[in-house]
């Protein structure tokens, strides 16, 4: 289904515009003092972000969590920032996980999420999938309540010292475990030019992140189509730097 057809449906064309004041903010959102930009986004757009997370949650199974992919139309459109903001907002209502699967060129302020939040991760999600490391070794909690878990990329995988070898069954098993552990799992897939599209078959919903100044209508239509062709339900477009 093409995005043009989606735009004709009023249900999907509803925009959650930013609202000012206390309605948009989340009082119990995790403190992200390291990331002031993300902190401000959650403070200003907490309400719309949480509403978007509720919609994503409804796409997933009833008795398990939903997996949401964030894919940028291009590099540097802010998909990692949006992923972190969504995860922070969702952690108010559900135990939430954020997984960094982006290629190294997807960055927040010059660094990707793993470098920004953890630094160098000795164990990453790839190690958990392959069985090389337990889940507890790879997880990093971003808040004191331990409601927002972050799974970084393995440093050895990033440097090419070790190649992850796991079967689709291992991968499906890990995602199933994540669904039971967390109400929402956000996957920072990076850009569509990179590896974001290959995650589409494994997720319940996807959000396309675009910078309207840099992205033409053909770009986001192409990204939307590619994700849907691979089985992802595209929730809509998140425009950044508006």
Interface ranges with another protein (CB under 8 A): 3, 6-7, 12-18, 36-37, 40-41, 44-45, 48-49, 52, 55, 78, 82, 85, 207, 217, 220, 235-242
Compute the least distance from the CB of residue 100 to another protein, in Å: 20
Residue number with CB closer to another protein (52 or 147): 52
Contact 77, 209 (CB under 8 A): yes
Rounded CA gap, 162 and 240, in Å?
35
Beta strands in 93-183 (DSSP E): 96-100, 140-141, 148-151
Rounded CA gap, 174 and 13, in Å?
34
Residue number with CB closer to another protein (99 or 237): 237
Compute the least distance from the CB of residue 27 to another protein, in Å: 20
CB count within 10 Å of CB 61 equals: 10
CA quadruple 112, 209, 99, 130: dihedral sign: negative
Compute the least distance from the CB of residue 119 to another protein, in Å: 20
Report the DSSP pairing between strands 96-100 and 148-151. Answer: parallel
Compute the least distance from the CB of residue 136 to another protein, in Å: 33
Compute the least distance from the CB of residue 63 to another protein, in Å: 25
The alpha helices in 91-144, defined as continuous H runs, are 113-117, 125-130, 135-138
Residue number with CB closer to another protein (15 or 169): 15
Residue number with CB closer to another protein (71 or 138): 71
Residue number with CB closer to another protein (37 or 133): 37
Compute the least distance from the CB of residue 162 to another protein, in Å: 36
CB count within 10 Å of CB 51 equals: 14
Residue number with CB closer to another protein (70 or 138): 70
Please report where in the chains the tokens 């289904």 appear, as a residue: 1
Please report where in the chains the tokens 């090389």 appear, as a residue: 132
Report the DSSP pairing between strands 140-141 and 148-151. Answer: antiparallel
Rounded CA gap, 64 and 185, in Å?
11
Residue number with CB closer to another protein (187 or 209): 209
Compute the least distance from the CB of residue 163 to another protein, in Å: 36
CB count within 10 Å of CB 145 equals: 12
């Amino acid at each position: 289904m093409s995005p043009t057809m989606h735009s004709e449906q009023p249900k999907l064309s509803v925009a959650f515009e930013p609202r000012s004041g206390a309605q948009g903010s989340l009082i119990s959102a995790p403190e992200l003092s390291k990331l002031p930009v993300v902190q401000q986004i959650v403070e200003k757009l907490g309400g719309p972000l949480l509403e978007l997370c509720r919609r994503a949650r409804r796409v997933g199974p009833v008795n398990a969590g939903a997996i949401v992919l964030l894919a940028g139309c291009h590099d540097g459109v802010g998909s990692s920032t949006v992923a972190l903001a969504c995860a922070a907002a969702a952690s108010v209502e559900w135990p939430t996980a954020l997984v960094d699967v982006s290629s190294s060129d997807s960055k927040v302020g010059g660094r990707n999420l793993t470098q920004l939040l953890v630094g160098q991760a000795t164990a990453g999600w790839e190690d958990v999938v392959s069985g090389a490391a337990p889940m507890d070794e790879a997880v990093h909690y971003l808040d004191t309540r331990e409601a927002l878990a972050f799974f970084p990329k393995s440093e050895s995988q990033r440097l090419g010292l070790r190649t992850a070898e796991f079967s689709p069954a291992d991968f499906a098993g890990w995602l199933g475990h994540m669904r039971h552990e967390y109400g929402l799992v956000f996957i920072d897939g990076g850009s569509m030019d990179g590896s974001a599209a290959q995650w589409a078959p494994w997720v319940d919903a996807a959000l396309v992140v675009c910078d309207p100044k840099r992205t033409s209508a053909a770009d986001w239509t192409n990204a939307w189509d590619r994700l849907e062709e691979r089985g992802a339900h595209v929730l809509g477009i998140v425009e950044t730097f508006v």
